[in-house]
A = this chain, B = another copy of it.
Amino acid sequence: MSARVDPAQPIGLFDSGVGGLTVLRALRRRLPAESMIYLGDTARVPYGTKSPQSVLRYATQATDHLVARGIKLLVVACNTASALSIEPLRERFDPLPVIGVVEPGAAAAVAASRRQRHLVLATESTVTHHAYARAIRALAPDAHVDEVACSLLVSLAEEGWSDGPIADAVAREYLDPVRARGSDAMPDSVVLGCTHFPLLAEPIRRAIGEGPTIVDSATTTAEEVATVLARMGLLRQSEQPGATTLLATDGAERFAKVGARFLGHPLSASDVEVVDL
Contacts and interface: CB of A to CB of B under 8 A. Distances in A.
Contact of A51 (B152, B156, B250): B250
Contacts of A93: none
B169 A50 contact: no
Nearest to A156: B152
A42 B254 CA distance: 21
Interface residues of A, number: 26
A155 interface: yes
B251 A49 contact: yes
B169 A161 contact: no
Contacts of A250: 50-51, 53-54
Interface of A: 42-45, 49-51, 53-54, 124, 151-152, 154-156, 158-159, 161, 165-166, 169-170, 173, 250-251, 254
23 contacts: A42-B50, A43-B44, A49-B251, A49-B254, A50-B251, A51-B250, A51-B254, A53-B250, A54-B250, A54-B251, A124-B254, A151-B155, A151-B158, A151-B159, A152-B152, A152-B156, A152-B161, A154-B155, A155-B155, A165-B169, A166-B166, A166-B169, A166-B173
